[in-house]
Chains A and B, each alone.
Chain A
Amino acid sequence: MLEGSGVTKRFGGLVAVDAVDLVVHEGEIVGLIGPNGSGKTTLFNCIAGYYRPDAGRLTFRGHSLVGRPPDAICRLGIARTFQLTRAFADLSVAQNVAVGVLYGRAGINRVGPALAEARRLLDYVGLGAMADVRVGALTLAQRKRLELARALATRPRLLLLDESLAGLNPAEIAAAVELLRRLRTELGLTLLIVEHLMQVIMGLCDRVLVLDAGRKIADGPPEAVAQEPAVRQAYLGTRAVRAAREPG
């Protein structure tokens, strides 16, 4: 569904994403992990059209994404959430989602029906009671759900979630993981998830890509990837890994 080869993004002398190959198949839940600064969000921004890769190819269902603006990529069927939630602050919760309904998909061009659809989506993510509230009144967990509802409003096929569980408490995380599972089973969505919480990655993902310093260092089922020396080294440092291997 999503294919990339040799994707590279430089900022001056820094190579933030370095010749990364990736494939995401339809219906998969793929985790994208790596230490801070390893290029996860930059790769997301390349896929979603916020950055233009300096080299490499990126295609989604046969359409090249390189050079396509973010709004056009959204209409191709890729929706994203932001690491730090970015709601439309002067609009109500329902109006936030209605923007996605009006612009992200074809078919609904009038505000009234768009708001009705927005309420339906808010019910789906468990935010129905807050539809008429201003965004500022939401908790962090609710804002993350709002971002999800707004992304869903565009009827995506592939959803890019950038740390959409960070900062939530354990109960909220459990509820959110459940919701993400339902996105696949009920809506048939494919998910690409950046996440730091290992229990989420392990419990939710079919496959994990690991980035370190912009390079892909591992790609496979979560249990297998967690055993790979390169991954342990990236997360724990060389000495800690050597020490663990040779006790005493």
Chain B
Amino acid sequence: MADTPKELSPPVTARRWALGRPGVLPLLGLVALAALAVFPLVEPPIFYLRLLATVFLFATLAQSWNILGGYTGYVSFGHVTFFGLGAYTAALLFRELGWPPYVAAVPAGLVAGLFAVVVGYPTLRLRGPYFGIATLALSFVVQLAIANVPWTGAGEGIVVRGGLPFRRLALEQFFYYAYLALLLLTTLAVGVLERSKLGYGLQAIRDDEDAALSVGVPATRLKLLAFGLSSFFAGAAGCFYVHQASFASPPDVFTLGISIKALVYAMVGGAGTLLGPLVGAALMELVNMALTTSPLGTYGIDRIVFGALLIIVVLAAPGGIVGLARRRLPGPWRPR
């Protein structure tokens, strides 16, 4: 293997150098994707359509969080800020101009991404837990600000109804496919990023920022780029969410729970890996559903379980499920 320097190795080659090309998982992934693509066409119960759509939504949020938190090492506790800004941008574009979600998604993402670049300029100088605290505080500040501006509906929120000319089933199918497409796009972007010059720079910053500077990595610029990209996808997700919920209100689209979910899902699945956020979101949303629909489920039980799982993962398997699988599974089954 050492004599094929031309091969485009992803940044995790080191972990799979001994076992050659992975075979089974990409194939499995394609089969799963095909199944997910035809699933809404068999007109399943709406409950399952919604469940999967929710998995896609949170997988997108976890994957976008992953760009900054997993690959760059800047753990944000305020990812919801950008989700919420995207949601409000879409709501306002609908109220003022009647734009449907598939048109508003790009501007919603841009508003979120640009805001991230602006607030990233001062906050990304903070390292370690200080950055996390700053992002957490930011999410509260933005929520309060929007709740007090009359133009954004203040505490009343904005109604976003009738943006799409679909009936009930078709509407559910639309959001299912929209979230799936957004998830694919985000994951594709992260996959390309991981093997690109930018991805190498970000991972160098994560592993040792001073050393990265010493070899010419313009850390400030790259971190802003990562923050902007991460927030762009979160904002686009917020756009579809607000049309699905048909309502935007500060406590709804700026809730701390969404920040926590993005972070926990990515870390449980494996931060800094391409598959981690997908695995984490799928698993944890199912756990979440089981908890909230079972007789055991009481208000808040999901947070207790999430907290416990996060502690277990951080202590026992810092690389998350994907990290564990890389170490334990036989070659062909091993994720990158």
Is B208's CB under 8 angstroms from A99's CB?
A: no
Query: Which residues from A are CB-within-8-Å of B1?
Result: 132
Q: Is B13 an interface residue (CB 8 A)?
A: yes
A-B CB pair tally, cutoff 8 Å: 124
Query: Which residues from A are CB-within-8-Å of B196?
Result: 111
Please measure, in the bound complex, the distance between the C-alpha atom of A212 and the C-alpha atom of B212, giving whole angstroms: 31
Is B211's CB under 8 angstroms from A133's CB?
A: no
Is B216's CB under 8 angstroms from A104's CB?
A: yes
Q: Is B215 an interface residue (CB 8 A)?
A: yes
Is B214's CB under 8 angstroms from A99's CB?
A: no
Q: Which residue of A lies closest to B272 (CB)?
A: A90
Closest Cβ–Cβ distance, residue B202 to chain A (whole Å): 10
* A:147-164 near B, CB below 8 Å: 150-151, 153-154
Q: Is B204 an interface residue (CB 8 A)?
A: yes
Closest Cβ–Cβ distance, residue B267 to chain A (whole Å): 15
> A17-55 interface mask toward B, CB cutoff 8 Å, 1 = contact, 0 = none?
000000000000000000000000000000011100000
Q: Is A74 an interface residue (CB 8 A)?
A: yes
Query: Which residues from B are CB-within-8-Å of A104?
Result: 215-216
Please measure, in the bound complex, the distance between the C-alpha atom of A39 and the C-alpha atom of B214, giving whole angstroms: 20
Closest Cβ–Cβ distance, residue B332 to chain A (whole Å): 19
Q: Is B207 an interface residue (CB 8 A)?
A: yes
Is A75's CB under 8 angstroms from B214's CB?
A: no
> B3-27 interface mask toward A, CB cutoff 8 Å, 1 = contact, 0 = none?
0011111011111010000000000
Q: Is A115 an interface residue (CB 8 A)?
A: yes
Query: Which residues from A are CB-within-8-Å of B217?
Result: 71, 99, 103
Is B214's CB under 8 angstroms from A88's CB?
A: no
Q: Which residue of A lies closest to B215 (CB)?
A: A100
Closest Cβ–Cβ distance, residue B169 to chain A (whole Å): 45
Query: Which residues from B are CB-within-8-Å of A119?
Result: 5
Is B210's CB under 8 angstroms from A134's CB?
A: no
Is A91's CB under 8 angstroms from B210's CB?
A: no
Q: Is B328 an interface residue (CB 8 A)?
A: no
Q: Is B218 an interface residue (CB 8 A)?
A: yes
> Contacts A70-B213, A82-B214; is A99 near B200 (CB within 8 Å)?
yes
* A:82-116 near B, CB below 8 Å: 82, 86-95, 98-100, 102-105, 109-112, 114-116
Query: Which residues from B are CB-within-8-Å of A16?
Result: none
> Contacts A116-B5, A133-B17; is A50 near B216 (CB within 8 Å)?
no
Interface residues of A (CB under 8 A from B): 48-50, 69-72, 74-75, 79-80, 82, 86-95, 98-100, 102-105, 109-112, 114-116, 119, 128-129, 131-134, 150-151, 153-154
A-B contact pairs, 18 of them (CB 8 A): A50-B210, A71-B212, A71-B214, A71-B218, A74-B213, A74-B216, A87-B208, A90-B12, A90-B203, A91-B14, A103-B197, A103-B201, A109-B197, A111-B9, A112-B8, A115-B7, A129-B2, A154-B215
